[in-house]
Structure 1
């Protein structure tokens, strides 16, 4: 068995030379000239084959490529591939709570939940409770042998969630010796340092072979203001020259200053007159406090009108300042904002094989991972009500209030010295283990079976939180019987007594709080969560019968999977007692039973214009405990036209099942401002909508008479209450997709491979969340029989909307089409070897329709997230024991919005963006490898555009950085 496995490994290593499975036949043939051919399994199929020709496009990344890029997380490399984009990463989760620090991949930009990540062909436990996306932080980089990326038709082979494709991470199964690896990345500007260490050991014996590895890495965060390009911002402001929406003058124009919020100072600030920040209001109605609690005019720093040189502020009470002197205001950009979430992780993994006899072997693997990430945020910000009878009001403030006839003021405050910065710490612990058996039953048939268990435990800690009602109680301080106490008031606001257990607090100018005040007001909040995964599966593959062109091969798989999740917020969160966060417990589970079959039928061999022609098909039936039965299928044709040209065609249906969060998220309170209702008589009268007739008919069908108006009390009320929750009525998404591929390996240019793959995805019933907008969508539909009408509730007697739900619905349509280009060239050059590889993706269509209505169709292609072209170039020159690696990543020029017009702004265009990386590797000793590299050699900052200058999702915000590493093997 082990000898056969070694043959498979040798053949697959040949594939890595080409970088693409489809173009690797020549190298595979060289291996067969020496030893008998073994059947080999490639990603995209569970049939072991006599060659390495894949029925679907497969891109292969070797573990060496990750080392060459100087990275320690596989997602850092996947995000640079043209056919993928960033799902979640430390750069995109700086403001997230439960997702902070996650690393997920996103094929085709269709969403991480539509990309299935496998490890050695098997599912991995989700990276976050309630999700289906895998956190690549849990995969040990040093054990990765290669990563195979298959797009199109993967759901029929591997199951739901493989709509966009499959990322199959293949690990080393054995290792003979011990290897120590250490590396560091040091940005030129401070912050964002990364350190990595691993030790790997194993043995290759006659019976037992295994590999064990311990990986540790730490990535530091860095504040946005630590980068010079951010300190020289490209913000925008309301253009004073713009007079209307039809004058051809942009509403907003570029400004190179920070936007600063004109209140929420540390000591607190208040207004003694109503109005916004216009010229005549500066410093004559806006007051703040110094550190001693004395009232002073609000300081606008260099943003004051006489210093700024730009309009003072926009309607949302912002002014513009320099970072060197912002005054009392709070930066709306950059203040307590970070480019990267700090992340620390440790992974212990073991993979092994025990050969029972020549025909059967037991396999086992175990992974333990622990990661910590912290999302840092601004301190809690409040609008305190300070009544005139407050015992802490000094004479200067009292005079201002009395002169303006104020019986109370609103004190806005955000002070990190009081309660500390809010920080959301995520502790994630993953454990995964499997035991399997594989082997051969006879000369034609083999089997593989396993049982696997995985669990993620996710503990969240909120620091710097405040018990809101306790803070309100403490601030309402009055003097009673010679003592300052917390007031109890009647309905008219009169003080009737002292609030027991309350500790009075003076926020005006406060820079600290006593321990007693902290004990009463400040708090930490917690939530524990876990998700379990159990998989039992068996696959039998082999040869059914012979045809003139060869043997008909098949694979049959049965699988049972159970996913369960639960969350447990603490008392304060469940009861909505803390600032900005509330949550209820969740509990849910899904059982899935699946059966799949895959058949490969050789039709022709050694014919004119058909060196080989193979028809492939796969079918999978899935029975979900919540969403019911569903299926996926694919039809493929693999056609070797000549020895130089190969064509592949693939047509398939894929599905995605809703996640546990989509289904079981418990109700949590939310609010929506405004009292709009499309059935109101006044709104119907003034409506110019093309759906007006539908609205009138549906409102009447819903029992609302012509001329209906909501009650006066409803119209006068404030925000409309609602609930965010899951939807157990969801169905599976369905995707119809196809690929047409051409593989060209010309004989007249030795070492050249070219692959072209045209692909198309059309997803129907895509899951999308709808909230308050469901009311309009319900009545604008052709009838009340639509999914939106169940998202709100009316009072049966008055007709008033009394509640709405924000939950997922199968309503959206998504379409993407494009062309993948991959070419590789290898040749001898001088005394060494040169290998060049270019991959690129052209995006032809990227559209979405959230409701299915023609009027809601939107094209995204060519916008910032979806440029027409993306490309990656890699050149490696190897000489003796040294290698020189140059990598370039390219994004085509784009726009922020396809619906832009000159009335919007003067900065819609986003230029192309290219970065270059270099790595040098050499062996100082046979056992010692050292490497040194520079990432972002030219120190390219994001494009200087208000939409992009601080964007770390698509552009490099770290700047030029040095990477160094060493590896010792003994």
Structure 2
């Protein structure tokens, strides 16, 4: 393989360009910035030089050896492959104040959304889990690896790996393959691959402390500590042992502590964040409705007068911008040299994420009835006194619903690596487990018990007076608490591969081949406490929500790399997978890498993908939860106006229950991916790159939104005896096709001066198209730059810019984050969500004795999230997926290496 400024080989004297990825990560085209393979102990190049050396512009080089880069199974003597791989070093991550894998992934311009503990406001439980979503095509189509191998999917969601299970303190670097449908790791990697690689062969230790707090009041601070230690050298001593322990605690921030973004009810702006489940209760009989405080203009705590003779309740007053959480992880690894060029290692991972989520007090979801002649039957002459009335009451005296969630992850891997007779081999057996416990700590109430208490004269649903002693006891008897749901996913796996050079076929360099296979057994178990689930009506869980399903997946693959002429090489791969439940599939991948001149690299790839529905998507039990607000019954409130016996607060601009769940008739998704990239490096200190990408997906698995069902399939809506909506079915389906394309842009500049080393890094993603179908035969809907109900938005443009300086023991940096604006959820009342720009700054000093202190500020201009009238996630007034309501935060980090 030819050597050039873009291809550092053994003995080359080359000063690496700065990061191609703007988060100070290195693209694999910059060889001196590449890093160790996920499964070997070899290194491509030295880690970034310390500040004292970098200030002089003298970056050391070293012998490369042969390594693997994410996306290929062939060990190579250079770091550039035909597919775009971004490499981000751990030191660079921490220097920017990033303290979690969730935060790291959310800052990738190629990642579209982030899911975290601030998004859930009601019964939509996330348990604090966070997921990656490369290209915005779904969290279930981004493959997350640890040291090149799969982890168990989150047991609560079942479609993706929870990023919180990754041992953050043990990470050495992260490799992001921005090309999808990998024939190496599995063709379900349609959006791309994120490979977290831990420290190996570590000698010495490191302790780090961090603290972060918003400058505005109310809470939301966090602190973390991590300790890593290793002993022994695999080559010199024949062994190495290491361990890493991390702990992070995050305190809650209430929505009411951010008045600048808080919105409740503003029809002119499209905000309807209120509920017909009120305190005191609203009552209904046919088209007659009322509330005791309606005549006073709903003059009560948390009440909003929305008209129609009833009162609505501000449920968001109990919401949180950030929830209480604790994350602990332990990673250990012991490796030993078995013989010359042969080694074995045993690693163990344990992590626990604990999250406490609060939501508004329990509503009487099934609308209990008060019978004629009972003590609290409403005194309303418009009512038929011989008929019952249904009530929508909220259990304010019981307090907020509190759910305590625990996610445990365990992983054990025994692997063997080495060389023999010109072959490089790597094989491992592994066990992965993810367990989630949902514990109702308080506030969940039984509708049946409340109905009895209303009719027995123990609780007056139309009064806000303190409960009597008998009423307090009745409320306590109605409360449902305890461990309600346990979910567990297990993956037992084996994998192995061989690679070697096979000769110089065309006089342009040695060809190489790799062959491999893998097997995994997947199991999903869900167990529900039927008593707690049946009584906790607003929890939405079915009492019969128990599952025990499994399947086997077998796969074999091969990869061939052939240099054809000087500077041009072709790589071809093919993978065969056999799923015991959905059948088999064969998928190819072909790529090329061409370097016509020393300063230019051209690369491209085509691949086909296949993603079988997960066990969770197939067998997830049916459950009821509340839809987004702002919906209207198409029968009783067509066009947002009550008709045919409709009641405004019950049937218009409100929430309904929706039934979610799996579908055993789902078909696999199929995909095609194309990439074409250019990297230009006119001189050593500057590089720029363009990577164009196209993705097409068929039979995409997702759940239709309630808004879509209302507009396109109203006949499927389940109704109560009085004609009102009982629930809207939104089970998983094969919805149709998705087509998206865009370009990743990067540029980097490095300038050594007598005043220090200055570096500038830039990366951005421009999405030209993102069109999808909401059903197989429907027309395409554009999602790029437009909010779509149930899907959020795909940003037209996102970028990150870093400015860094280092001299001696001093270093400083400035970081800019930007994302473009987009059409809002309800454009008739608010047309566009504004663009969002924030700036971070940091400075650090490394003492001669070893400690390093870093001080920084995130969002230093205290930018509020742009206004959005979306009603689907988090709190109203902004979108918690795309903007941070904490405001300006300051942080300090102390690191000591020994």
Q: What range is the shorter-chain TM-score in?
A: 0.7 to 0.9
Residue 958 (structure 1) shift: 0.7
**d(CA) in 1 for partners of 2:300, 2:283:** 17
Following superposition of structure 1 onto structure 2, how do residues 613-632 of structure 1 map, counting pairs within 5 Å? Answer: 613-632=568-587
Alignment partner of 1:389 is 2:325: no
Conserved? CA contact 1:574–1:585, under 8 Å: no
Aligned: 1:928 with 2:851: yes
SS at match of 2:731: strand
Q: Does 1:568 align with 2:491?
A: no
Query: Is 2:512 the counterpart of 1:553?
Result: yes
1:36–1:335 CA distance, 2 compared to 1 (3 A): closer
Q: Which residue of 2 aligns with 1:84?
A: 111
Find the counterpart in structure 2 of residue 520 from structure 1: 477
C-alpha change, 1:43 and 1:528, in structure 2 (3 Å) is same
Name which of 366, 381, 385 aligns with 2:348: 366
Q: Is the CA contact 2:15–2:32 (under 8 Å) kept in the aligned structure 1?
A: no
Distance 1:201-1:912 versus aligned 2 partners, 3 A rule: same
In the alignment, the residues of structure 2 paired with residue 253 and residue 722 of structure 1 have an alpha-carbon distance, to the nearest angstrom, of 25
TM-aligned CA distance change 1:723 to 1:828, over 3 Å: closer
SS in structure 1 opposite 2:330?
Answer: strand
Correspondent of 1:578 among 530, 537, 544 = 537
Residues 140-219 of structure 1: pairs in structure 2 closer than 5 A: 140-189=167-216, 190-205=218-233, 206-219=237-250
CA–CA separation in structure 1 for the residues paired with 2:60 and 2:90 = 27
Aligned counterpart in structure 2 of residue 637 of structure 1, from 576, 592, 607:
592
Residues 817-832 of structure 1: pairs in structure 2 closer than 5 A: 817-832=741-756
In the TM superposition, what are the counterparts of 1:295-374 in structure 2 within 5 Å? 297=296, 299-300=298-299, 313=306, 330-332=313-315, 334-374=316-356
Aligned to 1:959: 887
Q: How does 1:401-550 map to 2 (within 5 A)?
A: 401=380, 406=385, 411-417=391-397, 419-442=398-421, 444-462=422-440, 463-477=442-456, 504-507=458-461, 508-512=463-467, 514=470, 516-525=473-482, 526-547=484-505, 548-550=507-509
Measured after TM superposition, the shift of residue 937 of structure 1 is 0.5
User: Residue deviations 1:159-181, cap 9 Å, x none?
Assistant: 03210000011111133223221
> Does the 8 A contact of 2:288 with 2:383 survive in 1?
no
In the TM superposition, residue 100 of structure 1 has moved relative to its aligned partner by 2.6
- SS of structure 1 residue aligned to 2:616: helix
Q: After superposition, give the CA deviation of every residue in 1:54-92 in whole Å (9 maximum; x if it has no partner).
A: 120111111122212212112212212211122421232
TM-score (norm 2): 0.83
After alignment, is 189-198 or 837-846 more displaced? 189-198
Aligned to 2:650: none
Query: 1:115 corresponds to which residue?
Result: 142
**C-alpha separation between the residues in 1 aligned to 2:191 and 2:742?**
13
Structure 2's unaligned 5+ residue stretches are 1-8, 35-43, 47-58, 636-655, 719-725, 788-792, 871-875
Distance 1:951 1:477, change over 3 A: same
CA contact (8 A) 1:268 1:509 kept: no
Distance in 1 between residues matched to 2:382 and 2:733, nearest whole Å:
55
Given the superposition, is the C-alpha separation of residues 173 and 569 from structure 1 closer, same or farther in structure 2, using an over 3 Å criterion? same
Q: CA deviation at 1:723?
A: 6.8
Relative distance call for 1:823 and 1:260 in structure 2 (3 A) is same
Cross-structure match for 1:716:
none
Equivalent position of 2:39 in the other structure: none
Question: CA distance change for structure 1 residues 941 and 95 in 2, over 3 Å: closer, same or farther?
Answer: same
Change (3 A) 1:414 1:228: same
Deviation track 1:85-135 (CA, whole Å, cap 9, x = no partner) reads 224212323445442311111101111100000011011122234613111
Question: 2:670 matched to which residue of 1?
Answer: 734
Aligned-partner Cα distance in 1 for 2:213–2:626: 45
* Corresponding residue to 1:766 among 700, 710, 717: 700
Q: Residues 302 and 457 from structure 1, CA distance in 2 versus in 1: closer, same or farther, beyond 3 angstroms? A: closer
Distance 1:33 1:177 in 2: 22
* Equivalent-residue separation in structure 2 for 1:823 and 1:122 (angstroms): 31
Secondary structure class of the residue paired with 1:807:
coil
Is the 8 Å Cα contact of residues 840 and 869 (structure 1) preserved in structure 2? Answer: yes
Separation of aligned partners in 2, 1:387 and 1:805? 30
Change (3 A) 1:13 1:90: farther
Name which of structure 1's ranges 580-589 and 722-731 shifts more when overlaid on structure 2. Answer: 722-731
Q: 1:25-40 residue pairs with structure 2 within 5 A? A: 25=31, 37-40=64-67
Q: 1:643 to 1:461 in 2, by over 3 A?
A: same
Give me the whole-angstrom Cα distance separating, in 2, the residues matched to 1:805 and 1:262: 21
Structure 2 counterpart SS, 1:641: strand
Deviation at 1:313, TM superposition (A): 3.4
Query: Which structure: greater helix fraction?
Result: 1
The CA distance in 1 between the partners of 2:356 and 2:842, in whole Å, is 31
Asked whether 1:264 is paired with 2:278, we answer yes
For 1:681-692, list aligned pairs within 5 A.
none
Query: How far off its partner does 1:13 sit?
Result: 12
State whether structure 2 residue 27 is matched by structure 1 residue 21.
yes
1:287 matched residue in structure 2:
292
Distance 1:722 1:893, change over 3 A: closer
User: 18-27 vs 587-596, which deviates more?
Assistant: 18-27
CA RMSD across the alignment: 3.8
Distance 1:671 1:744, change over 3 A: closer
Distance 1:154 1:145, change over 3 A: farther
- Which region of structure 1 is more displaced relative to structure 2, 132-141 or 723-732? 723-732
Instruction: Give the C-alpha shift of residue 155 in structure 1.
Output: 2.4
Which residue of structure 1 aligns with residue 822 of structure 2? 894
Secondary structure class of the residue paired with 1:75: helix
1:807 matched to 2:735: no
Larger mean Cα displacement after TM superposition, 172-181 or 642-651: 172-181
Count the aligned residue pairs.
Answer: 811
State the Cα deviation string for residues 551-609 of structure 1 (Å, max 9, x = none). Answer: 1111111100111011111122565663442322111112100001111001112xxxx
The answer to whether residue 614 in structure 2 is matched with residue 659 in structure 1 is yes
